[in-house]
Amino acid sequence: MATVSYTSRSATPDNEADPVAALVARARAAQLIANGYDQARTDELVAAAGWAIMEPTRNRALAELAVADTGIGNVDDKIRKNYRKTLGLLRDLKGAPSVGVISEDPAKGLVEIARPVGVVAAVTPSTNPAATPANKIINALKGRNAVIVAPSPKGVTACALLLEYIHAEFDRIAAPRDLVQMLPAPISKASTQALMQQCDLVVVTGSQSNVKNAYASGTPAFGVGAGNVASIVDETADCDASAEKIVRSKTFDNATSCSSENSVVLVDAVYDRMLAALAACGAVLLDADQKAAVQKLMWPDGKLSSRAIGQSAQAIARGAGLDDLGAPSVLMVEEAQIGPAHPYSGEKLSPVLAVYRARDFDDAKQIVERIYAHQGAGHSVSLHSTRDERALDLGLNLAVARVIVNQAHCIATGGSFDNGLPFSLSMGCGTWGGNNFSDNMNYRHYLNTTRIARPIAEVVPSDEAVLGEFFEKYGR
């Protein structure tokens, strides 16, 4: 197979005075080599990058470094996340065609051919400084692309170690290291912006500021919307099972995931029972004074503080001077208001949960609609119920791309072994969330597709065949 460039952008000169241009030039040279790979060789790249983070000793080292350097989350959950998210992604990619002809439809005379997008700029957050880069790298490699990571400044060392492990695996299979690179430290807004402008595709997970910068870079971009997940618990729910799932989701990696519940909306008929069930799982309901103390710690100047992000409920309670709470799993606050003046109604990135009381399911739906009008539109909603039609109701009427039913939300939303969603750490939120896609981001987003169209027997329908019902109702 000829090693011709698959990108529409001209190669960037290797200018040593411009380190970003030099990275891009090396990435383009490596991507030219990958252009010649067949499916089997491409899948070796994928396996090598996956094993780089899954291997137990390396996985632990990455998790420990991530927590040590960012101060966010906890080691054991990051180990589980690094392993399970990567294992699930490799499962999704195994046997998936991404090289050459990937589908044929003789009846329509169509053939689809997968082509690389070129050099991918992957902007990643501090909340998942190993798992998110790995996910993007693996998806990019599945399409025979090169990828350059722009990590969060706090996540530089973990990302660098991940790349060290990937390069070691590439050496084993004699693949070019320059297929996977990262911006050199110190990471700056200027270097990240330069990278986005010089690459062929930008995929960005993290702050909405980064997403907006990606869209304004002049390069095609996929960005994700803000998370602020609400969970409805209706009168038919199993309260004990629902509480266990909510607390398990809300405490995983200290709620660093955009898919962690930020609010629970409890139907009045189960309000007291659900609070008791949540308390049995270690969640503590704060009184008004305690709520005010935690709010002062979390939003001292109106902006969510690093003293709260990714910290345990116990650490947040201690920081707020609430030492008498013991060792809570989650801090709960009753809330009735929504909007900028009521910060508990927004995303908290910590095991702090706003609790809303609803008259019934319809009222709960309206409360969630108001929450998402404030923040979180497009992402997803959680439902605990035995009435399946209510999931369809939410899907038809709420501004969400996903309805997660009777599951631990943060584990389920990005794909799980017990649901059918693709494994991903980047969830599109559609136009509701200011995004151009509403899928769980996957390898197909890292491909161009060329279509061959051959002539088939012409079939031209009559006016009656396509407009008959309209004519019958309204006349010609």
Tell me which residues are annotated as active site. Answer: 258
Cβ distance 348 to 262 under 8 Å?
Answer: yes
Name the strands in the sheet holding 330-334, side by side, starting at the edge strand that comes first in the sequence.
283-285, 330-334, 352-358, 261-267, 229-233, 381-384, 403-405
The sheet carrying 201-204 orders its strands as: 180-182, 146-150, 119-123, 201-204, 221-223
SS3 of residue 467 by DSSP: helix
| 19 contact partners, CB below 8 Å, separation of at least 6 | 184, 191
474: amino acid identity, one letter: Y
Within 10 A of 128 (CB to CB), how many other CB atoms are there? Answer: 29
Other C-beta atoms within 10 Å of 472: how many? 9
Q: What is the DSSP string of 224-292?
A: -----EEEEE-TTS-HHHHHHHHHHHHHGGGG-STTSEEEEEEEGGGHHHHHHHHHHTTEEE--HHHHH
- For 212, the enclosing helix (H) or strand (E) is helix 208-215
Q: Is 113 exposed, middle or buried (0-12, 13-18, 19+ CB in 10 A)?
A: middle
Q: What are phi and psi of 324, to 5 degrees?
A: -80, 0
Encoded amino acid at 390, one letter: R
* Separation between Cα atoms, residue 310 and residue 78, nearest integer Å: 12
CA atoms of 473 and 334, how far apart (whole Å): 53
- Count Cα neighbours of 281 within 13 Å in the Cβ-side half-sphere: 23
